[in-house]
């Protein structure tokens, strides 16, 4: 055959096998026997091996697993992957429905979907081609697992339209794949996976994609990251668009007009749950209309327009062998139940939190008791109650200590708190936990510095506070257990890179009481430098929106300590950035921008900017972007296929711009 004929045959095979893949893995309706599929795949691989110039990135042959990776690269999600708030009973759902009704009125509907028990992932396409896949991570930063995701045959390597789009979904392991995998592991004498979710997560975090390719994973795609840019106006329309583009969505979804219909859907699937070919752990309920979603907004962690109903947890009985105490970074003493190992909701449980002394007294828990254990929301093990009739008299009452188990300092119970607390700032447990928090993903995000490495460094007296991290050398690190030269090099590089973090990362990492990640960003954005923040007064702090009395008092107290000033001086000396690097706050008084003080609504599909980019740029120039048009709206930017918002803007005689006019003003 001449080259043109070979090229044509390769293209024909690629198209044919892509269609067969879609029929088998997405539609569950294969049109050819497996033997015919395998024969055509072998022909394609042979031709592409002999003529690699005709191999394309979206070829079905690319699903067998690519090059082995050294490590996963970090990926920043342009649109955060928020987690969902949970509902555990009917009243939680009715309360959710009441909040929705109070916010948007009587005219709304829900989309109910099965909550797949897997690993949340993000898939990014450019001009129709799959270019990157990532884990959810902390919602802002995930890990690049593109090569592993390519091995999932229900993920299209090329969608049916030349769109640049990001979608979210749940990668999972079907029950039959899980059973086959564990059977093979058992035959090889290897440790078994506890449940399909752990197996899916472990498969997608393999550095060798060929391993992931053998695990027979699948995916259900459930949303578009910036759905408004596609022109669709509701979640249900977005799911239909995903179907059209060639993605696998879950067909068991249902649109419900009332909360009663939602409750009936939940009851139906609680009964049918065991018959599914995959694990689910609940039902996701979302407000359908995108306009209403925007009006409802989000909190720092989760959208207000969605909730996850978690199925009632499985309860089992086991023996409480002991109660162990640990000291957290804020000095709080936490008791933990040590249990006889028991299977709960598919995983082995050996520990459960007891929270505080009051809970132990309230539930009359003794060491040696038989207790009922469940997983709250199928995740966190907790002690439900004691089976007192099984007591023999050998059980021992538990009493909290009067002194810290780590440093022997006297424990105190602060006013209005139930927890006992160690207030010794030199307590080694608090310092160690503070170090672990400092390097964590939401804080300084030092890759490779996990709890085990921090514990080793602390034990070897190589670090005593966070500033000591920046003095570590490769020679010191290489002496640690399981630390090779390459790992030591990578860790030194990661520590050095963390010096460039924006101020809010450092603020959160320092562990100032009551200051979470969002508050840290608010403070960093307002004061811009550490020097200005540490001089801030209580009155200046409480004047900031979102900063309350307790937080302001905590910040002032923190920066009044001499040891804190010494620590900040050392960090600055080692080159750690002390300034905010994000978009600055702009007020009406100090901005000449057109947008300063104006309320803007974005609607329809923008071609050159994503909606999030446009929003960020407008807000950086002092504007406020909202989701609904009202008399208070100053400007509506209408992209392609703008719908009801544009109509309402015209009725209210509000200024309407197209994208070109917006870009012109942004570029000034």
| 332-345 pLDDT per residue, tens | 899 999 999 987 76
Average of per-residue pLDDT across 534-561: 88
Q: What percent of the chain has pLDDT over 90?
A: 42
Catalytic residue among 74, 115, 301, 396: 115
Average of per-residue pLDDT across 66-88: 79
* Higher per-residue pLDDT: 184 or 393: 393
- Is the per-residue pLDDT at 116 higher than 90? yes
Q: Positive or negative CA dihedral for 600, 606, 612, 613?
A: negative
Confidence of residue 436 (pLDDT cuts 50, 70, 90): very high
Write down the pLDDT at residue 623. 83
Catalytic, 499? Answer no
- Is the per-residue pLDDT at 377 higher than 70? no
Residue 465 dihedral angles phi and psi, to the nearest 5°:
-145, 180
- Is the per-residue pLDDT at 65 higher than 70? no
pLDDT in tens, 585-600: 655 444 578 888 888 9
Write down the pLDDT at residue 626. 79
- Is the per-residue pLDDT at 28 higher than 70? no
- Is the per-residue pLDDT at 296 higher than 80? yes
Residue 59 burial class via C-beta count within 10 angstroms: exposed 0-12, middle 13-18, buried 19 and up? buried
Write down the pLDDT at residue 159. 92
Residue 591 dihedral angles phi and psi, to the nearest 5°:
-120, 135
Write down the pLDDT at residue 140. 83
Write down the pLDDT at residue 437. 93
Confidence of residue 157 (pLDDT cuts 50, 70, 90): very high
pLDDT in tens, 461-493: 899 889 999 999 999 999 888 888 888 999 999
Distances (CA, A) of 233 to 220, 604, 615: 21, 9, 18
For residue 561, what are the contacts with CB-CB under 8 A and spacing of at least 6?
none
Write down the pLDDT at residue 589. 45
pLDDT in tens, 218-252: 999 999 987 767 888 899 999 999 999 999 999 99
Whole-model pTM: value is 0.56
pLDDT in tens, 602-637: 888 888 887 777 887 887 787 888 777 888 889 999
Q: How far apart are CA 220 and CA 337, in angstroms?
A: 37
Write down the pLDDT at residue 585. 64
Average the pLDDT over each of 8-12, 545-549, 582-586 and give the range with the smallest value. 582-586
Q: Which of 495, 487, 430 is nearest to 468 (CA)?
A: 495
* Structure letter (DSSP) for residue 313: P
- Is the per-residue pLDDT at 67 higher than 70? no
- Is the per-residue pLDDT at 273 higher than 50? yes
Enumerate domains of the chain plus CATH numbers. 3-64 (1.10.287.610), 86-310 (3.30.470.30), 315-397 (2.40.50.140), 428-498 (1.10.150.20), 503-573 (1.10.150.20), 588-666 (3.40.50.10190)
Q: How far apart are CA 416 and CA 346, in angstroms?
A: 38
Residue 389 burial class via C-beta count within 10 angstroms: exposed 0-12, middle 13-18, buried 19 and up? exposed
- Is the per-residue pLDDT at 494 higher than 90? yes
* Higher per-residue pLDDT: 389 or 68: 389
For residue 590, what are the contacts with CB-CB under 8 A and spacing of at least 6?
none
Average of per-residue pLDDT across 540-560: 87
* Higher per-residue pLDDT: 382 or 300: 382
Write down the pLDDT at residue 70. 62
Q: What is the mean pLDDT of the chain?
A: 87
Write down the pLDDT at residue 588. 47
Q: How far apart are CA 111 and CA 19, in angstroms?
A: 29
Average of per-residue pLDDT across 247-267: 95
Write down the pLDDT at residue 134. 93
* Higher per-residue pLDDT: 193 or 286: 286
Write down the pLDDT at residue 221. 97
- Is the per-residue pLDDT at 142 higher than 60? yes
């Amino acid at each position: 055959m001449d080259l043109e004929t070979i090229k044509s045959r390769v293209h024909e095979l690629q198209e044919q096998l892509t269609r067969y893949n879609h029929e088998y893995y997405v539609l569950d309706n294969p049109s050819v026997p497996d033997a015919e599929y395998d024969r055509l795949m072998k022909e394609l691989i042979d031709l592409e091996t002999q003529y690699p110039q005709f191999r394309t990135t979206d070829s079905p042959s690319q699903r067998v697993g690519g090059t082995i990776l050294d490590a996963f690269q970090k990926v920043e999600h342009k649109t955060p992957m928020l987690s969902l708030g949970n509902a555990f009973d009917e009243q939680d759902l009715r309360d959710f429905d009441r909040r929705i009704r109070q916010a948007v009125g009587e005219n709304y509907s829900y989309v109910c979907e099965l909550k797949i028990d897997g690993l949340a992932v993000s898939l990014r396409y450019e001009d129709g081609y799959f270019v990157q896949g990532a884990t959810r991570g902390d919602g802002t930063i995930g890990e690049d697992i593109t090569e592993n995701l390519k091995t999932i045959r229900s993920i299209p390597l090329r969608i049916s339209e030349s769109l640049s789009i990001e979608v979210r979904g749940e990668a999972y392991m079907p029950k039959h794949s899980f059973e086959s995998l564990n059977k093979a592991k058992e035959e090889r004498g290897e440790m078994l996976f506890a449940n399909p979710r752990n197996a899916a997560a472990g498969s997608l975090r393999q550095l060798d994609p060929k391993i992931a390719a053998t695990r027979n994973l699948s995916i259900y795609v459930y949303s578009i990251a910036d759905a408004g840019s596609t022109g669709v106006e509701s979640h249900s329309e977005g799911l239909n668009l995903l179907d059209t583009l060639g993605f696998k969505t879950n067909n068991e979804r249902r649109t419900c007009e009332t909360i009663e219909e939602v409750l009936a859907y939940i009851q139906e699937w609680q009964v049918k749950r065991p018959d599914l070919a995959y694990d689910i752990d609940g039902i996701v309920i979302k407000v359908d209309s995108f306009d209403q979603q925007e009006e409802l907004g989000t909190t720092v962690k989760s959208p207000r327009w969605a909730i996850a109903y978690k199925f009632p947890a499985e309860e089992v009985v086991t023996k409480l062998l002991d109660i162990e105490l640990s000291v957290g970074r804020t000095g709080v003493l936490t008791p933990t139940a040590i249990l006889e190992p028991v299977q709960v909701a598919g995983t082995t449980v050996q520990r459960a939190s007891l929270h505080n002394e009051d809970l132990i007294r309230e539930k009359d828990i003794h060491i040696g008791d038989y207790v009922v254990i469940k997983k709250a929301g199928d995740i966190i093990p907790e002690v439900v109650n004691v089976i007192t009739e099984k007591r023999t008299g050998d059980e021992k009452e538990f009493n909290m200590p009067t002194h810290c188990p780590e440093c022997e300092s006297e424990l105190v119970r602060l006013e209005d708190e139930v927890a006992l607390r160690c207030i010794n700032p030199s307590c080694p447990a608090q310092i160690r936990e503070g170090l672990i928090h400092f390097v964590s993903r939401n804080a300084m995000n030092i890759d490779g510095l996990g709890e085990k490495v921090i514990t080793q460094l602390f034990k070897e007296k190589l670090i005593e506070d966070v500033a000591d991290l920046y003095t570590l050398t490769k020679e010191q690190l290489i002496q640690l257990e399981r630390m090779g030269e390459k790992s030591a090099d990578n860790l030194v590089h990661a520590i050095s890179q963390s010096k460039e973090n924006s101020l809010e990362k450092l603020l959160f990492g320092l562990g100032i009481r009551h200051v979470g990640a969002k508050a840290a960003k608010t403070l960093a954005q307002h004061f811009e430098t550490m020097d200005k923040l540490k001089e801030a007064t209580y009155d200046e702090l409480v004047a900031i929106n979102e900063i309350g009395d307790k937080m302001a008092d905590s910040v002032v107290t923190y920066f009044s300590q001499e040891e804190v000033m010494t620590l900040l001086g050392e960090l600055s000396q080692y080159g750690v950035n002390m300034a905010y690097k994000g978009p600055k706050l702009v007020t009406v008084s100090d901005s000449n921008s057109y947008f300063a003080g104006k309320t803007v609504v974005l609607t329809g599909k923008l071609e050159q900017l994503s909606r999030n980019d446009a929003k960020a740029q407008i807000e950086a120039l002092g504007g406020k972007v909202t989701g609904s048009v009202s008399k208070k709206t100053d400007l509506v930017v209408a992209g392609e296929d703008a719908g009801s918002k544009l109509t309402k803007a015209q009725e209210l005689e509000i200024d309407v711009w197209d994208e070109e006019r917006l870009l012109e003003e942004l570029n000034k």
